[in-house]
Amino acid sequence: MKTTRIVLASRPAGMPQQENFRTETAELPPLEPGHALLQTLYLSLDPYMRGRMSDAPSYAPPVAVDETMCGATVSRVLESADPELHPGDFVLGYAGWQTHSVEQGRYLRKLDPTAAPLTTALGVLGMPGFTAYSGLLTIGRPQPGETVVVAAATGPVGATVGQIAKIKGARAVGIAGGPRKVALLTEKFGFDAAIDHRAPDFAEQLAAATPGGIDVYFENVGGAVLDAVLPRLNKFARIPVCGLVASYNDTALPAGPDRMGLLMSLILRKSLTLRGFIQTEFLDQFGQFYPEVTGWLADGRLTYLEDVVDGLDHTVEAFQGLLTGKNLGKLVIKVAD
């Protein structure tokens, strides 16, 4: 069996370009005991992939040059040498940017297409949803009546954060880019207020939307959004740091004065809790997350939005759009029917 795959041809400097990738056909290894041959149906695109294209120190090893780009996938089992898997089964795996793969069965999770759409395993019921759930509830700890602000709020993590905050009795304020996304936050996701970070008076709008200050700020962006948020933080505010997408393509430190002293002063004076996290730190909570979020979806307290792009050949272009905020909701590549 052969696979069509997209490999990392060179490490990007700044925004990834088409020339940083190469599409090729490769032979798959023979099927060994405990393995399964899979056909990729859906590929997840996520901001963390930009970091994996770099060889800078990070929480995960970089993708090697000439290696298939990484990524979570929903696949169909074609052949199996694992007694737990059978042809026709649907599984969540990590095949990356390719049409077929051979994976170990012990690293695959069976999916029930009658319980939820298969794509939700890559979004609200997968890594992004679990990131929102574990980061908000473990680090943010929203209380009834508190104000929770989340950046990149129409993305799969941000939208889930705001809705869980509402379920827990807090007030949710979302930050997004552009009128269409801002409207989605209140009309589809039920946020109490929504602000466009591209607005010239963004800081003033944020102050008006948070008259009592900010108790939890779920950080996905950094940059100018964080600059506007910092003065609004209340004493004992909690800041789960999930991502810093505004700086992922930077090739140098930002211009201007060093503001580290200001940040450290705020942490000290306001007794702030600022903690970065990777969702794998909280995997012991997945058994609680899945039934609880599934229940919220079933009773209508939680909803989601997906942006499905057809064709593996559009992956690089779609990923560029992800880094500039063009997607609406969870970005998924449909690789096959």
- Fold entry, domain 127-280: Rossmann fold (3.40.50)
As given in the structure block, the two tokens for residue 166 are 């509402």
For residue 48, the one-letter residue type is Y
105 phi and psi, to 5 degrees? -60, -30
pLDDT higher than threshold 80 for residue 36: yes
Residue 125 makes CB contacts below 8 A (sequence gap 6+) with: 116, 290, 293, 294, 297
- pLDDT score at 226: 94
- CATH architecture, range 2-122+306-334: Alpha-Beta Complex (3.90)
| Residue, of 250 and 79, whose pLDDT is higher | 79
Question: What letter represents residue 157's amino acid?
Answer: V
Which pLDDT tens digit goes with each residue over 228-280? 999 999 999 999 999 988 778 877 777 777 888 889 999 999 999 999 999 99
Residue pLDDT, tens place only, 108-123: 999 999 999 999 999 9
Structure tokens at 110: 């069976």
Where are any strands of DSSP class E within the chain?
Answer: 2-8, 21-27, 35-44, 73-80, 90-93, 100-104, 109-111, 147-150, 171-176, 193-196, 214-218, 233-241, 273-276, 306-310, 330-334
**Number of neighbours of residue 317 by Cβ within 10 angstroms:** 12
Structure confidence by residue, pLDDT tens digits, 189-240: 999 999 999 999 999 999 999 999 999 999 999 989 999 999 999 999 999 9
- pLDDT band of 308, cuts 50, 70, 90: very high
How high does pLDDT run on average in the chain? 96
307 beta partners: 331
From its phi and psi, is residue 256 left (phi > 0), alpha (psi between -120 and 50) or beta? left
Euclidean distance between CA atoms 327 and 329, whole angstroms: 6
- CA–CA separation, 144 and 130 (whole Å): 21
- 75 φ/ψ angles, rounded to the nearest 5 degrees: -135, 165
β-strand partners of 276: 241
- Angle (CA) 128-130-136 rounded to 5° is 100
Domain-wise residue ranges, the chain:
2-122+306-334, 127-280
**Phi and psi of 123, rounded to 5°?**
-130, -105
Q: Are 270 and 165 in contact (CB under 8 A)?
A: no
Q: Which residues contact 81 (CB under 8 A, 6 or more apart)?
A: 31, 32, 33, 34, 35, 36
Mean local confidence (pLDDT), 131-159:
97
Amino acid at 317: E
Percent of the chain with pLDDT over 70: 100
- Residues 37 and 35: their CA atoms lie apart, in Å, by 7
- Whether the model pTM is above 0.95: no
Cα gap 37→44, rounded to integer Å:
19
